[in-house]
Amino acid sequence: MPDTAPQRRPRDARWWLPVRLSIEGRHSHRWATWAAVAGLTVGAAMAVFGLPPVDLHGLPHYVGVMDPLCGGTRGVYWALRGDLGQAWRYNPIAVPLVVGAGLAVLRALVGWTSHRWVTATVTRVAPFIVCGAVVLVLLEINQQAHAPLLMST
């Protein structure tokens, strides 16, 4: 009797990874490179010349409500001055943001010289949405807990 059951494809051993890395012959994430260059340029200018003299706070800040980005400018300022502890104190997202921007620029430099680009492709969006939501909630709780620090400067 012949087997009539549909054949199942073997499952890839990395089915659970939400990101796939590959090497390509083209620069497919130019926007990330230029955003990183612009951000690091502005951050380096702040590290040399100081924080901007303008108030960057939103309206909720003035009634004591901190958003997840509160302290981000000061966090990037301190991260680029080399004081990661102070950067983390103002906004924990500043340190990975600066490191990620540096990695994006490094990726671009390696790609421009070797003509081989490391490319990240999102294979499953749901884990990023869930992780992003969890990180934002935790960051909001952290920033609200540090409201006196963020309000004082």
CB 21 within 8 A of CB 120: yes
CB 102 within 8 A of CB 6: no
What pLDDT does residue 107 have? 93
What pLDDT does residue 108 have? 94
User: Taking residues 119-144, what's their average pLDDT?
Assistant: 90
CB 51 within 8 A of CB 73: yes
What pLDDT does residue 15 have? 61
User: Taking residues 53-82, what's their average pLDDT?
Assistant: 88
State residue 131 phi and psi, 5-degree precision.
-65, -40
User: Taking residues 111-118, what's their average pLDDT?
Assistant: 93
**In terms of pTM, does the model score above 0.75?**
yes
User: What ranges make up the beta strands (E) of 1-148?
Assistant: 19-24, 117-122
pLDDT tens for residues 68-91?
A: 888 999 999 999 999 999 999 999
